[in-house]
Structure 1
Amino acid sequence: MKVKIYKPYKTATQSGLSKFKHWIVEFPKDNNLGSEPLMGWQKSDNTYKQVQLKFDSLE
């Protein structure tokens, strides 16, 4: 399984640095969404798309 590892960058309108100190690991988003038949809500069996891990360093 491939993951995405990145460090968020600061945009021109943001002045704080607290959100940009960490490295983030994200799992790939699964686009296989189904529709729940009773209520019509979207469903997916992939719970990895809800996980976002943050680390202080790249190691």
Structure 2
Amino acid sequence: MTARIYQIQKNGMQSGKARTDKWVLEYVAAEGKRADPLTGWAGSGDTRQQVKLTFPSQEAARAYADREGITFTIIPTGPKTLKIQAYADNFR
């Protein structure tokens, strides 16, 4: 079992910073998705793809993975940049 540990990023529709301090552990897909012959929906037999665990810190996620014997990769958080702009800049 391998997993990814990463910090939740703010999406494009979000102006605040709610839930961006949480860390997520999610399993890497063991098999690819395939189309169901009856419905055509994509699916797989790997049920671990449905599991997404959240933790308050990176250390807590790392401790959980170590305790359960899960090999993991930590995806670092990108730098946060602020674009300081005045309202008057929209009319230049």
TM-score for both structures, normalised by structure 1:
0.69
Structure 1 residue 18, shift from structure 2 partner:
1.3
1:50 aligns with 2:22: no
Tell me, in whole angstroms, the C-alpha distance in 1 between the residues paired with 2:35 and 2:11: 36
* Cα root mean square deviation, aligned: 2.4
Tell me if the contact between 2:5 and 2:24 (Cα under 8 Å) persists in the aligned partners. yes
TM-score for both structures, normalised by structure 2:
0.49
Aligned residue pairs, count: 59
Structure 1 residue 47, shift from structure 2 partner:
1.3
The Cα offsets for residues 1-57 of structure 1, whole Å up to 9 and x where unpaired, read as: 111001123468743111201111010134522332222322310111121110112
- Structure 1: give runs of 5+ residues left out of the alignment: none
Which one has the bigger helix percentage?
A: 2
